[in-house]
Structure 1
């Protein structure tokens, strides 16, 4: 009786001709069938073992680290194994052999045809092409997000100078932190240029503002699918808060000072809100105006870019947090604050405008 060593799961299992025999008394196996099955395995066993070795190497290291000859053999042996599996289903009496070949060909299929891009490669492709291309395709929706924020800021600014009590209407108590139209100018100036990095003054305001803006960014993206209205209203309301807060300092002659303080992290942080709003608006318009597609199909198509916009906004919020935690506290010069904030903004704009463009 012949035996052929096969290792379906690395356990060193030996498949013998005895496995082809049914329980005693249930079936009589012709000797020619036994010989044909044994010869079939013997002729192909070396190729199967070679394929299994290459599959294990591909699973552990990836195709990128395999040589050209190995990848060529992997594809060739995979095709041979599928042919062997089809033949084995017709002539073999060994269920263990069939199970081994099915498992081996399935693993080899994933190695040959499944996407081989690793997490680092996906991130690199997103940063180099996917994100900036999605930004350019969605420029109109992002512009609408900036427009909503700008109109809200202008409304809050003008309403404050019409009646300073509007400050208390727009500004949440946690954000105001005791500041208002009655706060002395000296106190406002001291917290702008003070070195207090604790939980008081503008330090506490900036921390709460970042948390607030992060929630707003999540909401304007997630709720934009509901006919765009929630995204527009939330972005506009965030602008009202910004406009009223800025007007308070302009009224005391501290307009440039507070603009420099906000620029360090605000250029990146507020842009992230507008980009998230643009993603939400893109989803909402797909629902409202699906065109000749179904709403599900239109939403699925718009979602490809909208999700990328949300990821860009999340990345920008992380950068804004770093700028707020370090640069804003360490840099006290107004000009330097403007340079940092708008310089980082220029880098974002350069990435969005030039990233992923193909050379001609």
Structure 2
């Protein structure tokens, strides 16, 4: 094979490929198609040169050119740190913000149910007797009893990990089981509301409701918010199975499922913060107002983060789903 003739015939294609590669961020649709075509041809030319006339200079030039063209054609993924930043500043907050009606309604229902149960337990001796023996209830509610010592029952670091892990399982359950029409989510939320209501009712009957709120509020605000969000998203996923809207059911479930999966990661981070507060702040020697202030500040910061960044991302058209490049291609459908 005459290398000079080969170069003379194909030089204009290589030069054009090099031009397109340099302008890859500003290419029109036809130019992108041309880039792909020239990349394939040049890769074939490189293979031919290597096998028939391995000229080192020409092989080096074409190898560099095909490598650059491959990078332009395959569009390498964004670095992981950029994906993490995008998730924390756009995808997670907008997913939480878009589901606010679901988890807001869940929060109201939870508080109503817990309050009714608390009032029932506090005013009905028969209900308290069904909860536990009088000695057990007295040990739970007395000063320095089980309710107070629970938060200092283990070293703070291990207690924080234990609490965060347990709560992560609760939120993950709400998110994952929503696919079952949301019914398991309702059970999980009701069980938690019942536990909170019973504890509040027993402490109220003992005249120590202030201690109850003083201990549960610092970490409970953020912790329960995470549970409410997970439950709301799980219920929305369950409703999507029933009514997918204008999307096909398979596509709607896939989109909402991906969003729920991302929410699990974001809420796990929220629960880590809540667990740290529960382990280090709740049992600390700070005055009650100081502990509650820390918990309320953490809650306010999180809600401001969701509203400010979430609203901005929603106005920009974000849905909280993964990038389109990470989603499997779909065949066009004829209506």
Q: 1:124 aligns with which of 67, 85, 103?
A: 85
Q: 2:115 aligns with which of 129, 136, 154?
A: 154
Query: CA contact under 8 A between 1:131 and 1:309: conserved in structure 2?
Result: yes
User: Any idea what SS the aligned residue of 1:117 has?
Assistant: coil
Query: CA contact under 8 A between 2:102 and 2:235: conserved in structure 1?
Result: yes
State the Cα deviation string for residues 324-347 of structure 1 (Å, max 9, x = none).
Answer: 222223343111111111111111
User: Any idea what SS the aligned residue of 2:143 has?
Assistant: helix
Q: 1:114 aligns with which of 72, 75, 87?
A: 75
2:214 counterpart of 1:228: no
Flag the structure with more relative contact order, 1 or 2, with Cα contacts below 8 A and sequence separation at least 6.
Answer: 2
Q: TM-score, normalised by structure 2?
A: 0.71
Give the match for residue 186 of structure 1.
Answer: 143
User: Any idea what SS the aligned residue of 2:181 has?
Assistant: coil
Give the match for residue 135 of structure 1.
Answer: 96
Larger Rg: 1
Give the match for residue 164 of structure 1.
Answer: 128
Q: 2:307 aligns with which of 353, 356, 359?
A: 353
User: Any idea what SS the aligned residue of 1:329 has?
Assistant: coil
Measure how far apart 1:249 and its partner are.
Answer: 1.5
Query: CA contact under 8 A between 2:114 and 2:194: conserved in structure 1?
Result: yes
Unaligned 5+ segments in structure 2 are: 54-58, 317-335
2:200 counterpart of 1:250: no
Unaligned 5+ segments in structure 1 are: 1-33, 55-68, 170-177
More helix by share: 2
Q: TM-score, normalised by structure 1?
A: 0.66
Give the match for residue 40 of structure 1.
Answer: 6
Measure how far apart 1:278 and its partner are.
Answer: 1.3
1:1-360 to structure 2, matched below 5 A, reads 34-35=1-2, 37=3, 39-40=5-6, 72=22, 83=38, 85-86=40-41, 89=44, 93=48, 96=51, 105=66, 108-111=69-72, 113-114=74-75, 116-161=77-122, 162=124, 163-168=127-132, 179-181=136-138, 183=140, 185-188=142-145, 192=148, 197-199=152-154, 211-358=165-312
d(CA) in 1 for partners of 2:182, 2:302: 26
d(CA) in 1 for partners of 2:65, 2:164: 52
d(CA) in 2 for partners of 1:211, 1:245: 22
d(CA) in 1 for partners of 2:36, 2:246: 46
- Rate the CA distance shift 1:232–1:103 in 2: closer, same or farther, 3 A: farther
